Structure 1
């Protein structure tokens, strides 16, 4: 297990994460990247706990996702299965589990203030915190993907599923974009990763 964790986590986070996995008897599976989620927690029919986390070369994203999913397990065990998946019990548990990791031996100093702000009231996904998501992307390998907020209005872009859109105006927190094929309007997170159509 340690060798798997060493591939994906910041070095100083390996032992504390291994201890959490062992304490809570987690069966951890690292899976190919999924478009819709970074990780997943499931109570198996035999009573064991399975957590899946997307394989990513970004150790900070992997760590946040792993602790996010362990927080689901711990919150359900502490408060019962009737709680909301991302309700206050989960938020409190996530904050408590994440606190020992929020230090410069584990995270770059550029991320720590954003993480401190994020964990005052953690969201269901780090991807919905646009400032944190953009900062985390700095630690991804280079790609041909652009971040929507950085593109000028009127830019035509493509999603991984092949659909194309034209960037419109910002509406409160999200950008209103029109789908080229249908003319329908959709709202996008500012940190959505898209491919610019030349």
Structure 2
């Protein structure tokens, strides 16, 4: 398992991450990309703890996702299964698990301030933290996608599911976009990746 982990996470994090996996009796599955999520945790009917993480993630995003999912398991064990999945108990647990890893042996020094800021109050997804998400994106392989904030006002774009939208105005942090087929208005994070049409 530790040899497999070397392919997916920063090398300095392999041994301590493997210890977390062993200590918490996690069955880690590395899976093909799911567009709607980076990873998930579930307790199986046989009592085993299964965590899945997308194979397509860069090593820093993969690592943060892995610790995110382990935090679900640890928080449920410590505080009970009635807690909110991304509530204060999970946030506290995620912070505690992540703290030893926020150092230059694991993350590039220019990412450290953004990661430290994110973990003052971690979100349900690192993608909702636009600055951290954009900083992590630089380690992804190039693709033909654009961010919502790069689409011109009134420009059309397509989502992974084929739906086409027209970009509208920015409302505080997110953009109002109209689904062309239905006229319904949706809010998009500025760092959502889409296919620019015109």
Q: Same fold (TM over 0.5)?
A: yes
- Root-mean-square deviation (CA, aligned residues, Å) is 1.0
Equivalences for residues 176-191 of structure 1 within 5 A: 176-191=176-191
Partner residue, 1:155: 155
Q: Deviations over 1:50-71 (max 9, x none)?
A: 1011112400000000000000
Look up the SS of the partner of 1:53 in the other structure. strand
Residues 57 and 141, structure 1, Cα contact 8 Å, conserved in 2: no
Equivalences for residues 134-153 of structure 1 within 5 A: 134-153=134-153
Partner residue, 1:45: 45
Partner residue, 1:110: 110
Partner residue, 2:173: 173
How far 1:152 sits from its partner (Å)? 2.2
Query: Once structures 1 and 2 are overlaid, which stretch shifts more, 65-74 or 40-49?
Result: 40-49
In the alignment, the residues of structure 1 paired with residue 19 and residue 68 of structure 2 have an alpha-carbon distance, to the nearest angstrom, of 15
Matched, 1:14 2:14: yes
Partner residue, 1:72: 72
Segments of 5+ residues of structure 2 without an aligned counterpart are none
In the alignment, the residues of structure 2 paired with residue 137 and residue 128 of structure 1 have an alpha-carbon distance, to the nearest angstrom, of 13
Q: How many residues align?
A: 198
In the alignment, the residues of structure 2 paired with residue 74 and residue 186 of structure 1 have an alpha-carbon distance, to the nearest angstrom, of 35
In the alignment, the residues of structure 2 paired with residue 55 and residue 81 of structure 1 have an alpha-carbon distance, to the nearest angstrom, of 28
In the alignment, the residues of structure 1 paired with residue 166 and residue 57 of structure 2 have an alpha-carbon distance, to the nearest angstrom, of 30
Q: Normalising to structure 1: TM-score of the pair?
A: 0.97
Look up the SS of the partner of 2:7 in the other structure. helix
Partner residue, 1:83: 83
Q: Deviations over 1:140-168 (max 9, x none)?
A: 00000111112221221111111111111
In the alignment, the residues of structure 1 paired with residue 83 and residue 162 of structure 2 have an alpha-carbon distance, to the nearest angstrom, of 37
How far 1:17 sits from its partner (Å)? 0.5
Partner residue, 1:95: 95
Look up the SS of the partner of 1:187 in the other structure. strand
In the alignment, the residues of structure 1 paired with residue 86 and residue 183 of structure 2 have an alpha-carbon distance, to the nearest angstrom, of 34
Residues 177 and 186, structure 1, Cα contact 8 Å, conserved in 2: yes
How far 1:189 sits from its partner (Å)? 1.0
Q: Normalising to structure 2: TM-score of the pair?
A: 0.97
